[in-house]
Structure 1
């Protein structure tokens, strides 16, 4: 009996191991863990960025600068304020990051299989295409959690129009979800802002993934020694910096669309379309208005993606060696 049990257990272990080691599954698991770890590391910067972004013309600009904003959050809400919304962010980012990496790897696999002579590397355009599709699919899968997290992030903050109804207790995920569905058009309300989000995420992921893989390709084929993990961190930081700067105005719009209806729409911005929103933002707030919170965003995405890429590559290597 014991021998039979051992064989059964060994067979189950082998099946699980085979399943995990499959390229798409390994990318999914490694991508999810990497996303959750990296976002927790930069959670205070993430919340500070959102608070700076949603200070439109109707606010008193209670938050000025990234580090002063973090200190203000800590002073008013304690250490929990630094991580407000982070649990939900991790719950969201695990499938978001997992789907993103898995779809990107699958796209690469399909494109390589379609070639008459199967080369090992894709060109830049193919990587951009795969990254764009990965960004679109990941947004579609996790968007409602992103919207709810954005709402929770600012509801306890000192944005003047929201101070009138300052909450004595932080809102929960369930209560925020019910409020959106009840007051903002049903389930479709949970997808408010998905268009600018997709327009921003798709090119960002495309640029980030394509640049990082190009950097890795150079390091792998270089006669110099790039085995130190710091080089992977540097490659991830560089790729996320370039992508983040190029598409940042769309990231600002994404957050504003998500929270525009809060406090009766009194945050100071109401947009009818992405085009109208971009024109309005640049016209009334200028170039720097469109890039409000950029510094805080770079403090968040640069170390976040650097850690994410390092975790992803390391975990995939561990899984493949298992």
Structure 2
């Protein structure tokens, strides 16, 4: 699944890093050789024409490693936090479902983001590379970032990343858990409300916190290699708040939502598949545990 949607991820990152578009009044300004992307399809064509078909999978190796690790940490933390809340409040004084899901989802997102963040930064930097290769390999990228930027270089943009992921996963799981059962009672063509609830939760949550995702991407490519990516005119940004102010001042509010459409195109089906698989694996493990308990009793 990750391999299939990788081109959309590259397109999203390229759009997020672009500080001007064809419709902007400043588009006539000399962008020092940076491509000006407009729309998902045109961006896909531009990448293929200028970088070849393999350009659509730039950064896929660290992305694959990140998603596997992220999912493992995310669902383990979500389950553990939920069980902890049950023990703390007891079955008689349990929190409302939405509140419990929000807290567990926020904790899961924060833990998974912090743990896998260096891979996320590497994914962004590789996806931002044009024909002028900034890093020749994953191993070389790790070595050069460590040499030139120190350990903290791997965590550029972590603050907006955490500020984004906590409400993102909290809202996602709160909406998902609230919508899953009602949707499960409907006669849907795919036979389950899990996938539909996953899509709904993903669209609402992603849209709500998307500006912070864009800010995170802009900060991730800061540093000594900033002017060597496909967008050679990436401005120099500071912290999260100052970056938001600078983007709004130069690109207006819509500048905070560059790449939102392709982000939703990528995230919605991915969330649907993830949650559909998660529910079935959990049901299998629960039923497997029940069967073992019955056999032990017998």
Q: Please tell me the TM-score bracket, short chain as reference.
A: 0.7 to 0.9
Q: Which of 217, 220, 238 is residue 272 of structure 1 equivalent to?
A: 238
CA distance in 2, matches of 1:75, 1:230: 41
Residue 151 of structure 1: aligned partner: 125
Please say if 1:114 is aligned against 2:88.
Answer: yes
CA distance in 1, matches of 2:93, 2:46: 53
Long gaps (5+) in structure 1:
1-36, 158-165
TM-score when normalising by structure 1: 0.78
Please say if 1:174 is aligned against 2:136.
Answer: no
Secondary structure in 1 aligned to 2:193?
helix
Secondary structure in 2 aligned to 1:62?
coil
TM-score when normalising by structure 2: 0.83
Secondary structure in 2 aligned to 1:155?
coil
CA distance in 2, matches of 1:54, 1:248: 13
Does structure 2 conserve the Cα–Cα contact (< 8 Å) formed by 1:150 and 1:255? yes
Displacement of 1:248: 0.6
Residue 206 of structure 2: aligned partner: 244
What are the superposed Cα offsets for residues 73-131 of structure 1, whole Å, 9 maximum, x if unpaired?
Answer: 23333332222222221111111111111111111111122234347884312221211
Residue 183 of structure 1: aligned partner: 148
Secondary structure in 2 aligned to 1:242?
helix
Identify if the C-alpha distance between structure 1 residues 229 and 280 changes in structure 2 by more than 3 Å, giving closer, same or farther: farther
Does structure 2 conserve the Cα–Cα contact (< 8 Å) formed by 1:233 and 1:309? yes
Does structure 2 conserve the Cα–Cα contact (< 8 Å) formed by 1:208 and 1:240? yes
Identify if the C-alpha distance between structure 1 residues 80 and 120 changes in structure 2 by more than 3 Å, giving closer, same or farther: farther
Aligned-residue Cα RMSD (Å) equals 2.3
Hey, which of these two has a bigger chunk of helix by percent? 1
Residue 106 of structure 2: aligned partner: 132
Higher relative contact order, chain-length normalized (CA < 8 Å, sep 6+) = 1
CA distance in 2, matches of 1:100, 1:229: 26
Does structure 2 conserve the Cα–Cα contact (< 8 Å) formed by 1:112 and 1:118? no
Moved more, 250-259 or 298-307: 298-307
Q: Which of 146, 166, 172 is residue 208 of structure 1 equivalent to?
A: 172
- Give the aligned length: 273
Residue 19 of structure 1: aligned partner: none
CA distance in 1, matches of 2:265, 2:70: 21
